[in-house]
Amino acid sequence: MRRSADELNKMRKAGKVVAEMHEATRAAIRPGVTTGQLNEVAAAVIAKRGARSNFLNYHGFPAVICTSPNDMIVHGIPGEYVLREGDIISVDCGAIVEGYHGDAAYTAGVGEISDLAARLIEVTERSMWAGIEQLHKGNRLHEVGRAVQSVAEAAGFSVVREYVGHAIGTAMHESPQVPNYWPGSPGPTLKEGMVFAVEPMVNAGSYETYVLDDGWGVMTRDGQLSAHFEHTIAVTDDGPEVFTLA
């Protein structure tokens, strides 16, 4: 779907709130802090900006952010988990302003982290930017996944298959999906006004996953680390415009 100039303006506003949630939670990450406390920090930003949460009550999800440490890939429920020196933590944030959605995620280290963890974070973020660079009108959507996969696999990592990016607008998850790998076909042709969430999930080991008994937390099957980066981006006449940057 293509969004009007007025709709894109509302999505810019939602994106700014999400960017502020990133800044505030990043600043709160340190050993000893719980993921529940990060959720409170994010909820305070939503309240301060008069926005609404798109995560809270989404299929019953009980928080305004997802917090996924170490071998958890995505969808972790914030709570009692205490961040420890050497952890990595993926934080996924979203907000609604005037009916329009923003959605973005990052992975950060807690204190000193291993070389492998640092490299995984760096490569995952770089793979996201390689995907975003494909969002030019006239290009085909699945070039995003091809670019993401190429960066991740060149570094010896793997790209999660079961969870993907998505179009976004008046709902958080709209069609079409945005795979983070080449799915075997080029996909739709990009037009100005389309808006997507590009969100690679990159595993240090294999891409296989399983879901925790809570029905939410998605884990790497082999117990190795996973990282996740995401932005909400519009296809414009001047190229990709990232709405969820500070």
* Interface positions with Mg ion (CB under 5 A): 92, 103, 105, 197, 199, 230
Inter-residue contact 83 to 69 (CB < 8 Å): yes
Where are the strands (E) in 37-99, listed by range?
Answer: 65-69, 72-74, 88-97
First CA to last CA across the chain, in angstroms?
26
Which amino acid appears at position 136 of this protein? H
Distance, CA of 36 to CA of 42 (rounded, Å): 10
Question: Considering the complex, what minimum distance in angstroms separates the CB of residue 54 from Mg ion?
Answer: 9
Which residue, 103 or 143, is less far from Mg ion as judged by CB?
103
Which residue, 71 or 103, is less far from Mg ion as judged by CB?
103
Question: Considering the complex, what minimum distance in angstroms separates the CB of residue 66 from Mg ion?
Answer: 7
What region, left, alpha or beta, does residue 184 occupy, with left being phi > 0 and alpha being psi -120 to 50 degrees?
left
Which residue, 85 or 125, is less far from Mg ion as judged by CB?
125
Which residue, 87 or 92, is less far from Mg ion as judged by CB?
92
Inter-residue contact 165 to 180 (CB < 8 Å): yes
Question: Considering the complex, what minimum distance in angstroms separates the CB of residue 21 from Mg ion?
Answer: 11
Question: Considering the complex, what minimum distance in angstroms separates the CB of residue 166 from Mg ion?
Answer: 6
Using a 10 angstrom Cβ sphere, with 0-12 exposed, 13-18 middle and 19 or more buried, the burial of residue 8 is buried
Question: Considering the complex, what minimum distance in angstroms separates the CB of residue 92 from Mg ion?
Answer: 4
Distance, CA of 191 to CA of 236 (rounded, Å): 8
Within 8 A by CB and 6+ apart from 156, the residues are: none
Question: Considering the complex, what minimum distance in angstroms separates the CB of residue 71 from Mg ion?
Answer: 19
Which residue, 151 or 172, is less far from Mg ion as judged by CB?
172
Which residue, 40 or 174, is less far from Mg ion as judged by CB?
174
